[in-house]
């Protein structure tokens, strides 16, 4: 069932032939929704930033996992935080690629992603600080903490860019 605008013609003419029906926005956007994947998101800055975050989190996790631990609680927390962040970033990446946000409109996706980045970045920063403090110059643990800090910086950049774009776009469009 289509809810787009429709043209209703009557038999009465005010002079001259009837104009062709206007093309509605609903019919022109149907072609873009038919595509399964958003190929442009792969090459976008936000897409590449998410891939860089996932790679740095994975390298940090593998570095810590393959090292001799000196403090079980510190590094298990670091591993849990890196894997949870990696899974959530992968979830949002897949959501953007397959355009799930267009079909599930009951969720505020920008807010959900912002809150994920806010909470995940704070936990990742805490985990990286603790991992760096308890590394005792073990190479794998130092590398894991370093990639944890790199992922934290990338998450802050992603959070800042998504907040900047959504807030500035909304506030400037109100005055134009």
Digit-by-digit pLDDT tens for the chain (176 residues) are 445 554 444 444 444 455 554 444 444 444 455 577 888 888 899 999 999 999 999 999 999 999 987 788 889 999 999 999 999 999 999 999 999 888 888 989 889 999 999 999 999 999 999 999 998 889 999 999 999 999 999 999 999 887 776 566 555 555 55
CA distance 85 to 91: 10
pLDDT for 72 equals 86
pLDDT for 35 equals 74
Domain assignment of residue 33, yes or no? no
Q: Which domain holds residue 62?
A: 50-173
* Number of folded domains that form the chain: 1
Domain assignment of residue 14, yes or no? no
- Locus of tokens 């994947």: 37
CA distance 113 to 110: 5
Task: Let me know: does 144 contact 63? Beta carbons within 8 Å.
Answer: yes
pLDDT for 94 equals 94
Domain assignment of residue 8, yes or no? no
Q: What is the pTM of this model?
A: 0.73
In the chain, DSSP finds a helix count (H) and a strand count (E) of 7, 0
DSSP symbols for 89-138:
HHHHHHHHHTTHHHH-TTS-HHHHHHHHHHHHHHHHHHHHHHHHHT-TT-
Domain assignment of residue 1, yes or no? no
pLDDT for 132 equals 94
Domain assignment of residue 123, yes or no? yes
């Amino acid at each position: 069932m289509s809810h787009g605008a429709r043209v209703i013609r009557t038999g009465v003419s005010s002079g001259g032939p009837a104009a062709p029906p206007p093309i509605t926005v609903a019919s022109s956007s149907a072609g873009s929704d038919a595509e399964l994947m958003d190929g442009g998101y792969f090459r976008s800055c936000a897409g590449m930033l998410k891939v860089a975050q996932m790679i740095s989190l994975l390298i940090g996790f593998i570095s810590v996992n393959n090292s001799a631990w000196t403090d079980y609680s510190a590094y298990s927390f670091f591993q849990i935080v890196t894997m949870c962040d990696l899974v959530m970033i992968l979830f949002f990446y897949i959501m953007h690629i397959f355009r799930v946000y267009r079909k599930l409109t009951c969720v505020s996706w920008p807010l959900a992603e912002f809150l994920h980045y806010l909470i995940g970045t704070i936990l990742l920063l805490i985990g990286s600080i603790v991992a760096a403090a308890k590394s005792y110059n073990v190479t794998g643990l130092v590398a894991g903490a370093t990639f944890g800090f790199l992922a934290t910086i990338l998450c802050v950049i992603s959070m800042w860019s998504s907040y900047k774009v959504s807030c500035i776009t909304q506030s400037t469009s109100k005055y134009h």
